[in-house]
Structure 1
Amino acid sequence: MLIVPLVILFFKLDRSRVYQIGFYGFAIHVLGVYVDTIGTNYGFWSYPYKMVPILPTSFTLTSSMIPVAFMLMYQWLSRKHIHYYLGAAGVSAIFVFVVHPIFMWMDMFKMYRGFNYLIMFVNYFSGAIIGKLVLDLFVYLNKQNDTIRIRKIN
């Protein structure tokens, strides 16, 4: 569950946009780690079996499966010019209503204290929105920097 998504990403990643897609994936990863750490520390959910036992979060989900899925979704949607938020809602729904129930069935994920799938969906979708906003901000700043650089040359 950790290695396979990374291998798929290696072969499917659009090399011409590797920095943009990679930065987007990194933003999703960082947001996921923050939310996962907060959720486990406050007792909303837990991972009984972990790949890295000293970490409170699911290393497999937050470091591989989720970022890779969102990166491939972003790459595919941006080529097809399909609305990003529909795709983000779809990927969020797959993780919330398919992946997490499988993890619960396998006893690899548990929810507590009134936490439910709707709240989890909001978390995933909000993370996708924030990740895209962070990416868009950095793309904008990079374009501004290029414009300033061109003006200085002229």
Structure 2
Amino acid sequence: MKHPTFEDIKNARETLRDISISYWFQDDLFTWRWWLLLVAAIIPWLIWIKFHDQKRTFEIMCYGLIWAMLASITDVIGADLILWGYPHKLLPMVPPLLPADITVIPISFMFIYQYAKSLKTYLLLSLILSAIFGYIIEFLFIKIGMFALHKWTHTYSFIGFFILSLVVYTLIKKLTPKG
């Protein structure tokens, strides 16, 4: 096998792009799974707008944006390493699971951050939510064909969600002015 060049990589990515877009048009767009992803991308934000603590909007949004950024980066890395995959997507060219990475996961943790009055409560609620995402939501998404585990486990996901919740909490507490 010859040593691959950047041109080889570009050509492979172009082929993958073309296949992905074709697959998306034929197997995703306007299917029930696509509609589910669209709803999942919009409804949680509407709920958050209605029920968030308006006195802490900036702080909670910063927390959520850090979550969304880290979730998206983690998801891209995991999908690129073929640890997991998404047979169906909302859009063919964005991070693997846009509705989860920038909506469902961050907003769920944003509500925990908003309502937890102590670190102990935050940790407990984060453990519970991490377990729900890692063991229940992922399992259901596998059952309906929207998520596939390759070299990954639900326990790794649970641990990953919880670690990310600790990282985001620590970052936002360090960034948020006291008083």
Shorter-chain TM-score tier: 0.7 to 0.9
Is structure 2 residue 168 aligned with structure 1 residue 109? no
Asked whether 1:118 is paired with 2:161, we answer: no
More relative contact order, 1 or 2 (CA 8 Å, 6+ apart): 1
Cα distance in 2 for partners of 1:124, 1:81 equals 17
The percentage of aligned residue pairs carrying the same residue is 26
Consecutive unaligned residues in structure 2, runs of 5 or more: 1-39
TM-score by length of 2: 0.74
Q: Do residues 130 (structure 1) and 177 (structure 2) align?
A: no
1:67 equivalent in structure 2 = 106
Count of equivalent residues: 140
Cα deviation code 1:2-59 (max 9, x no counterpart): 1111111010111011111111111111110111011001000011100011124100
Instruction: Note if 1:19 corresponds to 2:53.
Output: no
SS of the residue corresponding to residue 83 of structure 1 reads helix
* Distance (whole Å) between structure 1 residues aligned to residue 119 and residue 83 of structure 2: 37
The 8 Å contact of residues 85 and 149 in structure 2, kept in 1 or not, is answered as: yes
Looking at structure 1, the residues matched to 74 and 119 of structure 2 have their Cα atoms a distance apart, in angstroms, of 29
Give the 5 Å matches for 1:1-154. 1-78=40-117, 83-113=121-151, 115-139=152-176, 142-143=177-178
Give the conservation status (yes or no) of the 8 Å contact 1:92–1:124. yes
Contact 1:73 1:88 in 2 (8 A): yes
Q: Quickly say closer, same or farther: Cα 1:111–1:81, change in 2 above 3 A.
A: closer
Structure 1, residues 104-154: CA drift from partner, whole Å, max 9, x if none? Answer: 1110000002x1011111110011000001101101xx34xx9xxxxxxxx
Q: 1:41 to 1:83 in 2, by over 3 A?
A: same
Q: What SS is found at the alignment partner of 2:116? A: helix
In structure 2, C-alpha distance between the alignment counterparts of 1:55 and 1:28, rounded to whole Å = 17
Residue 82 of structure 1 and its aligned partner are, at CA, apart by 5.4
Output the aligned Cα RMSD: 1.6
Alignment TM-score, normalising by the size of structure 1 = 0.86
Q: Is the 8 A contact 2:135 2:155 kept in 1?
A: no
Unaligned runs of 5+ in 1: 147-154
Counterpart-to-counterpart distance in 2, 1:68 and 1:94? 14
Contact 2:72 2:95 (C-alpha < 8 Å) held by counterparts: no
CA shift, 1:81, in A, is: 7.5
Based on CA coordinates, which of the two structures has the bigger radius of gyration? 2
Cα pair 1:41 1:56 within 8 Å, conserved: no
